[in-house]
Amino acid sequence: MDIRQLLLAAFEVEHREHIDAIRAALGGEDGEHVPDWNDVFRRAHSLKGASRAVDLPAVEAVAHRLETLFERVVAQEVGLSQTATAAVHLALDRIEAYVAGLTDGIGPDMPADALAALDRALDPSAATPPESDRELAQAPAAEPAAPTAPAPKSAPPETPTDVAQTLLRVPADAVEALTRATHELTSALGGEAVLADGIARLGRRAADLARLAERRRGARGSEPDLDARALETGLLALARDAADLARVRSALASSIEGAMTRVAGEAERLALVPAETAFGGFARALRDHAREADRAITVTARGLDLPVDRGMLQVLKDPVLHALRNALSHGAEPPETRRRLGKTDALAIGLDVEVQGGRLVVRVHDDGRGPDLAAIAETARRRGLLAADADPGPEALLALVFEPGFSTASAVDTLSGRGIGLSVVADAARRLGGTVRLLPRSPYGTELVMALPLSAARRAMLLVRAGGMTYALPSASAERLLRLERGDLAQVMGRTVARVEIGGDPVSVPVLDLAGLLGLPARAEEADATCPAILLRGNGRRCVLAVDALSDVTTLRVLPAPPIGTDPRLITGTVILPGDRPALVLDAEGLVARAGEAGSAAAPQPTGSRGTIAQAPRSTILVVDDSITTRTLEKGILEAAGYRVVVCVDGQDALDRLRAGIEPVDLVVADVEMPRLDGFGLLKALRAEEAFAQLPIILMTSRGDAEDVARGLDLGADAYLTKQTFDQRKLLDTIGQLL
């Protein structure tokens, strides 16, 4: 690669930084947040110098006019007019498109509209760019016309960038394979601890033998013979060598662990990409649509640096763009109407991406006319979705816009989505296991909100213990760790509260006991006078969450929530702990909301009043499920309740184990959909054998249709539970009744 190619590679990165910074500054010009116009000027100045360094005169010409415009803003200490702001956005869009179209350092023709728009912003009487600028846009790098006023002293020198960045496309399956390989390597290196223990034992035994030889010599009171002295010396040397080797191994293990952590982190990072990779060009596309429709808009995008699973972004790309175009189509109002309502002439459209409560939340909002409920109702009645005499509320009406083909557009054009409506957005949300809502926005406008489960994101987690199980809580939601005095708890309006100092003042905060809330059995030992707790914050409210123990704080990859767990309003995902042990991720906002509803039943009890696990004879339960996450979670729930649990990976595995009589089994909990032999087949086979005809069997599956339930019960299942409505308390109660 020659020097110009290296410079162009660096310029692609640098020009993006300058353009994004200028756009961010323009997006913040709302009266409350005044842009740093000196920085904006320096950005334009640097962009001009960088484009000159890589011989891109077309970009240099546009950057020169931007520099002149921002210089005037700095000198006159005034902001940009609406016309000037639109011209700047157009210029940035044209530069972006030009650089994206570079081939072997040669770009497409630069449209003349950017220079013309900037010239009109600088001088409304100018119809065409000055001769010098037209020449500059068409000729090789030439010295630009001098600005009309001296440049600020803070302007940096125009020097080319000397750092290049190479971008490489990596197939998604290769990234996933790398991630799996790092996990396997980590597990394999875990066996190295056994070697460390062996070395330590060897050193201790050698030292013991040396001391024994020395004591025996002292007891005899005579000089040792040469062989005894040699043995003693050899044992001492062996002990020293073992100790040295142990130290070297410890240092090596520490280095390996650090390297593995870095490799695993980089592998995980490759699996995620910034939301900008899918949504980054939407603002420019929307401005292009607005220019074609002769509408004035401002577009802001926030949170595009958030790392998101690439597969999720691929599914969301078209629906989010459709939602933005829908906001432009349905939110636009005549300028005089907007002025009368105290709005700016330009329609403000925003795209926000954030993580909230364990979910990826994508918002598309505008400050336009808001939802037209009358038009929605009329369209719904015309399509037979709403009875003629029905009078639904706003929420029910707004839910209808996601029906296939539903559109209130009076004419089909490039903005109205050709009458497709918002069903494409709802379809994408459903495919990703999420939800979508359309809401009126205060004081004006509309907001579309997509809430989706995080399929791949690494987050800092606080690990806690409750009822014998480990749970993960996003550490960002933990405001403070506490030691809760059970005797200090009080009852206020049917809720248990604790006095917590917040901002220097004592405040009464509702208290939840995690084990009690999730229906987990309490610890067998006497409850302590104090217990660890966490002050949680969510949606502007707080609660205190009491747990059995605080375990660790670590960064883990959040996976989708399994189909089995506890209340889905409290569980947002799964993490995999060392040893391939899954743990459920708690939703802090759901816990805080529950604290506002729960009474004393969900609160920690005074010393000695907590129940304990029933000390009945340990029954053995066989759990059959092809999902490692599901069967591990079921195993944890049942073991915490005092049962002995064995697991099998499918129906055939379970049938073979039962027939082999490896251990007596008192009850079976089986999934239905499994490879080789499904749950129905396992049930039928067991009921056909005399030895298992009376064995209690519970089918627990995601197949909750009436036909499936009837089939399972007809084949002889003692109970049929669905994972969608699963409650572990119901499972434990059912097992208790059958045993």
Instruction: Give the DSSP per-residue string, 548-592.
Output: SEEEEEEEEEEBPPPS-SS-TTTEEEEEEETTTEEEEEE-HHHHH
Q: Indicate whether 161 pLDDT > 60.
A: no
What's the CA gap between 401 and 408, in Å, rounded?
Answer: 9
Q: Indicate whether 616 pLDDT > 80.
A: no
What is the arithmetic mean of pLDDT over 284-309? 86
The partner residues of 523 in beta bridges, in order of sequence, read none
Q: Indicate whether 486 pLDDT > 60.
A: yes
Q: Indicate whether 666 pLDDT > 60.
A: yes
Q: Does the CA dihedral 305-307-308-314 come out positive or negative?
A: positive
Q: Indicate whether 160 pLDDT > 60.
A: no
For residue range 623-653, list pLDDT tens digits in order. Answer: 998 877 778 778 878 887 788 899 998 889 8
Q: Indicate whether 269 pLDDT > 80.
A: no
Q: Indicate whether 597 pLDDT > 60.
A: yes
Tally of CB atoms within 10 A around 468? 19
CB 395 within 8 A of CB 411: no
What is the arithmetic mean of pLDDT over 726-738? 80
- Reading phi first (left if > 0) and then psi (alpha if -120 to 50, else beta), residue 221 is in left
- Exposed, middle or buried by CB within 10 Å (0-12, 13-18, 19+), for 277? middle
- Written as one string, the DSSP assignment of 462-514 is EEEEETTEEEEEEGGGEEEEEEEEGGG-EEETTEEEEEEEETTEEEEEEEEEH
CB 314 within 8 A of CB 275: no
* Structural tokens at position 454: 């995080």
Pairing status of strand 549-558 against strand 446-453: unpaired
* Structural tokens at position 715: 């084949």
For residue range 71-99, list pLDDT tens digits in order. Answer: 888 888 778 888 888 889 999 999 988 88
**CATH entry 3.30.1460.30 includes domain 297-453:** no
- Reading phi first (left if > 0) and then psi (alpha if -120 to 50, else beta), residue 519 is in left
Q: What is the Cβ-side half-sphere exposure of residue 484, based on CA atoms within 13 angstroms?
A: 33
For residue range 17-37, list pLDDT tens digits in order. Answer: 888 889 888 876 555 567 888
* Structural tokens at position 353: 């991406």
Band (622; pLDDT cuts 50, 70, 90)? very high
What's the CA gap between 463 and 469, in Å, rounded?
Answer: 10
Tally: H helices and E strands in the chain: 23, 23
- Reading phi first (left if > 0) and then psi (alpha if -120 to 50, else beta), residue 421 is in left
Instruction: Average the pLDDT over each of 101-115, 149-163, 489-503 and give the range with the smallest value.
Output: 149-163
What is the arithmetic mean of pLDDT over 558-568? 63
Portion of the chain with pLDDT greater than 90, in percent: 10
Q: CATH for 457-602, among 2.40.50.180, 3.40.50.10440, 3.40.630.30, 3.30.2130.30?
A: 2.40.50.180
Q: Indicate whether 353 pLDDT > 90.
A: yes
| CATH topology for the 620-738 domain | Rossmann fold (3.40.50)
What's the CA gap between 86 and 118, in Å, rounded?
Answer: 9
Determine the straight-line distance between the first and last CA of the chain, rounded to whole angstroms: 74
Q: Indicate whether 478 pLDDT > 50.
A: yes
Q: Which of 61, 27, 58 is nearest to 44 (CA)?
A: 61
Core vs surface per residue 310-349: b (16+ CB within 10 A) or e: bebbebbbebbbbbbbbbbbbbbbebeebeeeebeebbbb
| Cα three-residue angle 146-147-152, rounded to 5 degrees | 120
According to the model, what pLDDT value does residue 136 have? Answer: 39
The partner residues of 439 in beta bridges, in order of sequence, read 447
The domain ranges of the chain are 3-138, 173-273, 297-453, 457-602, 620-738
Q: 């205190």: which residue's tokens?
A: 544
What's the CA gap between 640 and 636, in Å, rounded?
Answer: 6
What's the CA gap between 458 and 478, in Å, rounded?
Answer: 17
What's the CA gap between 422 and 401, in Å, rounded?
Answer: 6
Higher pLDDT, 97 or 191: 97
Band (151; pLDDT cuts 50, 70, 90)? very low
- Residue 443, preceding bond cis, omega within 30 degrees? yes
According to the model, what pLDDT value does residue 580 have? Answer: 67
According to the model, what pLDDT value does residue 361 have? Answer: 92
* Structural tokens at position 172: 């998604």
User: Dihedral of the CA atoms 620, 625, 626, 632 (nearest 10)?
Assistant: -60
CB 332 within 8 A of CB 295: yes
CATH code, residues 3-138: 1.20.120.160
According to the model, what pLDDT value does residue 449 have? Answer: 93
* Structural tokens at position 622: 């066989």
CB 510 within 8 A of CB 570: no
Q: Indicate whether 673 pLDDT > 50.
A: yes
Band (133; pLDDT cuts 50, 70, 90)? very low
Core vs surface per residue 215-241: b (16+ CB within 10 A) or e: eebeeeeeebeeeeeeebeebbebbee
Q: Indicate whether 417 pLDDT > 70.
A: no
The partner residues of 486 in beta bridges, in order of sequence, read none
Q: Indicate whether 599 pLDDT > 70.
A: no
What's the CA gap between 108 and 97, in Å, rounded?
Answer: 9
Higher pLDDT, 738 or 417: 738
Amino acid at 335: P
